[in-house]
Amino acid sequence: MKNTTLIIITLILNISFSQNDNLRNRYGNDTLSENPIYPIPAEMTFDEYQDMNRRLNVGLLLAAIPIPGTIHHYAGEKKIAKNIRWVAAGSILAIIGGAMSMKEDGWRKSPYEIYIENPGTDDEKRYQKIPIGETGGAIDYKYVELEKMYSGASFLIPLGIGVLIGDYLYDYIHGIRTIESKRDKVRFKYGKTLDFSFTPTYDLKNKTAGISFTYDF
């Protein structure tokens, strides 16, 4: 078991150091060098190449930006991203319109006695004195705050908030699925055209490791 573990660790270290040496020899000390270019199928389009190389972690990072449609835009679905932003803009306008249309119509009515706190000031509050019992001949009250009445298209506020939340969720969930789907389609399409494959091999008896290549003629 110790020998097996040692072989695996040695193999990993050898691969890591050999890759570092290759990168150092190829790019020197320039940390801003571009990634190496790999051969791609001649029939692959640039859009397919972009679809294949999109990363979910980048999409999740973009989700932190409070702009709807960001993930769909990264996924290459610019038309859908634009529609998502129009919906978000409409939701925000509905929230603003609902808030601006609301007008104060005074305090709500109550059949109970009213207790007023800070009367005549901006901090005025009113409470309903709801009797809940009697102790030693004195009536016990439960104080329930009385709200003001408002008129206007107040329903636009929760409607706009609900649509905006749904808009964000659609961009997040459907956007991630779009990235996965488009990437899988390209990989499946061109993966079938590959004529070779490789399989790692290990010989624990002789304490050796290698890679087996297979080519289909």
Confidence of residue 15 (pLDDT cuts 50, 70, 90): very low
The pLDDT of residue 19 is 44
Mean pLDDT over the full length of the chain: 75
Domain boundaries, the chain: 42-102+153-217, 103-151
* pLDDT tens digits, one per residue of 170-209: 998 898 899 888 888 888 887 777 655 555 565 666 666 5
Q: In the 3-class helix/strand/coil scheme, how is the chain assigned residue by residue?
A: CHHHHHHHHHHHHHHHHHHHHHHHHHHCCCCCCCCCCCCCCCCCCHHHHHHHHCCHHHHHHHCCCCCCCHHHHHCCCHHHHHHHHHHHHHHHHHHHHHHHHCEEEEECCCCCEEEEECCCCCCCEEEEEEEEEEECCEEEEEEEEECEEEECCCCHHHHHHHHHHHHHHHHHHHHHHHHHHHHHHHHHHHHCCCCEEEEEEEECCCCEEEEEEEECC
Confidence of residue 166 (pLDDT cuts 50, 70, 90): very high
Output the pTM of the full model. Answer: 0.56
* pLDDT tens digits, one per residue of 83-117: 999 999 999 999 898 888 877 777 788 888 888 88
